[in-house]
Amino acid sequence: MLQLLQKALIKSKGPISSSLIKKVDSVGGVCVHKTWRLQLEDGSKLFAKTTTIDDFPKLEFEANGLKSLKRFAPQAILEIPQPLVLEKVNSNSVLILPWIDIANGEQSLLGRGLALMHQSSSSQNPGKFGWEELGYIGSAKQIKGWERCWGKCFINLRLIPQMKLGKEWGLNHLDWEKPLASLSIFLNK
């Protein structure tokens, strides 16, 4: 893994392209990607995600999403990591970000930062809730589109598509249609 990630750094031709990786530790993985902590020779750390070359669009969507979120985040409260490397290396895709030590984070500050970020986004895009590009929720596609109310966006563009996927696993639509209708009314008050 060290060789793959070192190739990605070199290939990036960015400000960290000449950095040397001293150590690579797995920090777990999710259903789609593997995740790594990179210790560089200078003592700094980076975070990396690796996946197959076919899943490059998922990492690209994540990188673009992080760039977009940064525009709305209150910088003094909420740190949105910005992509340092997004590369295809051999048969792999690699996304490298700054390492953020979250072990000592304040959850109330995080909540406040997320609320302020959403408030900023909402004020700069009145009556627009959703996203302009096809994206991903884990390995599932996230549909693009816009709604005028946040609750409708959450129900129509996020939850219902996931529930429709659940049909493939045997979820009965009658089990979720009524609760979602009630939730929609509640969220749009």
pLDDT (tens digit per residue) in 62-113:
999 999 999 999 999 999 999 999 999 999 999 999 999 887 778 899 999 9
| Range 44-73 average pLDDT | 95
Cα–Cα distance, 59 to 61 (Å, whole number):
5
* 38: three-class secondary structure by DSSP: strand
Quick: pLDDT tens for 128-183: 899 999 999 888 889 999 999 888 899 999 999 988 888 888 888 778 888 888 88
> What is the model's pTM?
0.86
Partners of 23 in the β-ladder: 39
Cα–Cα distance, 90 to 93 (Å, whole number):
8
The amino acid occupying position 17 is S
Q: Count CB atoms within 10 A of the CB of residue 85.
A: 22
